[in-house]
Amino acid sequence: MIDVLLVLIVVFMVVVAMSHEKGLRAEIPQPASKDSPPPKIDTNIVIQIAWAGDKQAPALKINQENVKWEDLHDRLFDIYKQRADHVAFVKGDDEIDFQFVADAISIARSSGVDKIGLLTRTGPESP
Report the distance separating Cα 100 and Cα 106, nearest Å: 10
Write out the residue range of the structural domain in which residue 73 sits: 43-119
Distances from the Cα of 125 to the Cαs of 68, 94, 121, 122, in angstroms? Answer: 29, 15, 9, 8
Report the distance separating Cα 80 and Cα 119, nearest Å: 20
Write out pLDDT tens, residues 45-91. Answer: 899 998 888 778 889 999 889 999 999 999 999 988 888 888 999 99
Residue 19 domain-assigned? no
Q: What is the pTM of this model?
A: 0.61
C-alpha angle with apex 16: 10 to 20, nearest 5 degrees? 150
Please count the structural domains in the chain. Answer: 1
For residue 7, pLDDT over 70 is answered with yes
Residue 16 domain-assigned? no
Report the distance separating Cα 118 and Cα 15, nearest Å: 38
Residue 73 domain-assigned? yes
Residue 31 domain-assigned? no
For residue 124, pLDDT over 80 is answered with no
